[in-house]
Amino acid sequence: MGLVVASAVATPFANMPLQPIPGYMTAFGTAMVVVNFLLATLLYNRGVAERNGDLIRLATAYLFVAVIFVPLLLSFRDGFVSGSIIGSSGSSVWLWCFWHLGFVVSIGWYALRAKRNRPAWPISAYIAVVGAVVTAMTLLACNGLSLLPPVVPNGRTFFAAPYTLLPYSIVLINIGSLGLCLRHARASTTDLWLSVGMVAACFDLWLTLQGTDRFALGWYVAKCGSLFTSLTVLSSQLYDITRLFQVLARANDGLQLQATRDGLTGLYNRRYFDEVIAFEWAKANREGTSLSLLLVDVDWFKQFNDRYGHPAGDECLRAVGLAFRHLVRRPADIVARYGGEEFVVVLPETDSVGARHLAERMRRSIVALDIPHAPSDTGVLTISIGCATTRHPGVTSLKSLVEEADRALYVAKERGRNRVCTVDEIVADDLPDLGPRTRQTSGLHPAA
């Protein structure tokens, strides 16, 4: 609506002569080449990615504009040099006609066949056709000018009677293509803004013809309309790309979350734990800080499943995981499901005293859930926790940190379960026959 109002306001003054602006046509033409080439590239890429022949045909229309503007600028009088590099003033007028006619026919071709068909030809074929058509039009407008009607016999106006029928016919064809585009305006943002762009194209043609001469008010304003025609569709593509990036970013976040989370408990998984513990170990060594590790095991869990069923066992693990999330709250701390009924907690910059304090709170929180567990000595669900810290003499590597936490967990279960044990509390008699062990399976512990 704004374009229609602007056109109506500018029409009575379209023929007002204005001073030529040096370099105006050069700047305008360069902008048209760049904008339309970018738009064609975006549409071609989208068409290939989506296997959408309609977008490839639309891209071809804008590639045609970008390519034909090169000979149009070269033939424009005083555009780059005094006079014309190729052809004459009549050549630039005919190339102007070919530009608008070729563009509107291409848009009509797109609008008539907009059914999201797969590409009929490879992109190279479309580009070759554009190159051949523009070359033929340039040769006809420059070298075959004598074969064309003398549309500017007075040397001043764009078109003289009876040849004004030609540009007005192009206006009518533009209006027809606009009608075709409006049929698809609700199909996508591309079609919507293409319709706006076609309104701008009609606005451009109308004011150019009303201006009747170069550097008139209508001529200047029409050039803005030409650029607006392409910029509207380019803006729609950039908007769609921005939205696509946002969707992809959200999808990527979701995939990363799935890749690092345990599906049952919602805690971090073993894979994420392996990444974090390696990073925190290197950081603790580099900065000389403490790193503590808690290994947690649900007591008598096999018997729990046997008595209450696996669905109840899953609910039990979810409740345990939720309780742990409420307690392990520092940003750098993580709690992960280690496997089966086993959990692990990584506590950066935490000494053995702080780690044991948190472990005891975790143990009490599970008892407070009051989940019935008849095979247990307490009658409710309990956990056992083993704790190791980098400050302990036995911890000399990341592997040994896990081993020492595992040793402490073994001792906690040997001493009756439902308790916390740290490596500092282990005495030689606690592990008479085992020695250093690598944690591989839960079978290293007494029967769960």
Q: What is the pLDDT along the chain (448 residues), one digit of tens a residue?
A: 565 666 667 777 667 777 877 778 888 889 989 999 999 999 999 888 888 888 898 899 999 999 999 998 888 876 666 767 888 778 888 888 888 888 888 888 888 766 666 777 888 999 999 999 999 999 999 998 888 877 665 555 566 666 677 777 877 887 888 777 777 655 666 777 677 777 777 777 777 767 666 777 777 777 777 777 778 888 888 888 888 888 888 888 777 777 889 989 999 999 999 999 999 999 999 999 999 999 999 999 999 999 999 999 999 999 999 999 999 989 999 999 998 999 999 999 999 999 999 999 999 999 999 999 998 888 999 999 999 999 888 888 999 999 999 999 999 999 999 999 999 888 655 654 444 444 443 333 443 4
Domain boundary residue, one of 190, 224, 254: 254
Contact 262, 337 (CB under 8 A): yes
Residue 230 sits in the same domain as residue 276:
no
Please identify, among 220, 254, 288, the residue that sits at the C-terminal boundary of a domain.
Answer: 254
In this structure, are 236 and 279 located in the same domain? no
Is 234 inside a domain boundary?
yes
Neighbours of 264 (CB within 10 A): 14
pLDDT for res 428: 53
- Domain membership of residue 248 (yes or no) is yes
**pLDDT at residue number 236:** 81
Q: How far apart are CA 184 and CA 112, in angstroms?
A: 10
Tokens of 335: 């709690």
Helix or strand run (H / E) with residue 67:
helix 53-75
Is the distance from CB of 407 to CB of 431 less than 8 angstroms?
Answer: yes
Same domain? 233 vs 290: no
Amino acid at 309: G
Residues 211, 291 within the same domain: no
Tokens representing 61 are: 């229309």
Q: Name residue, tokens 């001493």.
A: 415
Cis peptide, bond prior to residue 331, ω within 30 of zero = no
- How far, in whole angstroms, is CA 263 from its chain's centroid? 26
Q: Check: CB of residue 177 under 8 Å from CB of residue 111.
A: yes
- How far is residue 63's CA from residue 44's CA, in Å, rounded to a whole number? 10
**CB of 36 closer than 8 Å to CB of 62:** yes
420, β-bridge pairs: 385
Q: What is the pLDDT of residue 224?
A: 76
What residue type is assigned to position 378 of the chain?
A: T
Of 223, 254, 285, the one marking the end of a domain is 254
CATH at 185: 1.20.1070
Residue 262 counted as domain residue? no
Closest Cα partner for 399 from 388, 410, 409? Answer: 388
The answer to whether position 237 is within a domain reads yes
Residues 6+ apart with CB under 8 A from 56: 43, 44, 47, 48, 119, 123, 126
User: Looking at residue 448, what is its pLDDT?
Assistant: 45
Same domain for 338 and 198, yes or no, is no
pLDDT computed for residue 174 by the predictor: 78
Same domain flag for 130 and 94: yes
CA distances from 24 to 100, 214, 262 (A): 20, 11, 63
Q: What angle do CA 38, 97, 173 make, to 5 degrees?
A: 90
Instruction: Annotate 186-238 with DSSP letters as a single string.
Output: TT-HHHHHHHHHHHHHHHHHHHHHHH-STTBHHHHHHHHHHHHHHHHHHHHHH
Identify the residue whose tokens are 């008139």.
216
Cα separations in angstroms, 49 against 125, 193, 324: 17, 21, 45
Question: Both 71 and 208 in a single domain?
Answer: yes
In a domain, 231, yes or no: yes
Residues 140, 176 within the same domain = yes
Provide the 3-class DSSP secondary structure of residue 20. coil
301: CATH: 3.30.70.270
Q: How far apart are CA 47 and CA 40, in angstroms?
A: 10
Q: 0.85 cut: is pTM over it? A: no
Return d(Cα 368, Cα 326) in angstroms, integer.
13
Q: What letter would DSSP give residue 216?
A: B
Bridge partners for 318 per DSSP? none
Residue 437 pLDDT:
43
Instruction: Please tell me whether residues 234 and 304 are part of one structural domain.
Output: no
- Which domain, by its residues, includes 198? 2-254
Mark whether 190 and 307 lie in a shared domain: no
Tell me what pLDDT residue 134 has.
Answer: 95
DSSP reduced 3-state for 339: strand
Q: Is residue 159 part of a domain?
A: yes
Residue 143: inside a domain, yes or no?
A: yes
Task: Quote the distance between the C-alpha of residue 88 and its chain's center.
Answer: 48
Number of compact structural domains in the chain: 2
Mark whether 225 and 362 lie in a shared domain: no
- Whether residues 209 and 291 fall in one domain: no
Cβ-based neighbour number of residue 77 at 10 Å = 15
Could you tell me which of 283, 259, 284 has the C-alpha nearest to residue 270? Answer: 259
Instruction: Kindly state whether residue 261 falls inside one of the protein's structural domains.
Output: no
Q: Return the closest-CA partner of residue 67 out of 102, 117, 105.
A: 102
